[in-house]
Amino acid sequence: MTTQNLTDYFNFLTPTDIRLKNSRIGIESILYEYIDCSRSPEEIAQIYPSLTLGKVYATILYYLQNREKVGEYLKKWLEHGHLMREKQRLNPPPVSDKLRRLRLQRQQMRASNS
The DSSP result for 45-74, as a single string, is HHHSTTS-HHHHHHHHHHHHHTHHHHHHHH
Q: 22 pLDDT exceeds 90? A: yes
* Prediction pTM value: 0.71
- Sorted by where each starts, the structural domains of the chain and their CATH numbers stand as 3-113 (1.10.10.10)
**Rounded mean pLDDT, 37-58:** 96
Long-range interactions of 77-80: CB distance < 8 A, separation 24+: 77/16, 77/17, 77/26, 77/28, 79/16, 80/16
Q: 114 pLDDT exceeds 90? A: no
For residue range 68-95, list pLDDT tens digits in order. 999 999 999 889 888 988 988 888 888 8
Predicted pLDDT at 64: 96
Report the 10 Å Cβ neighbour count for 114: 5
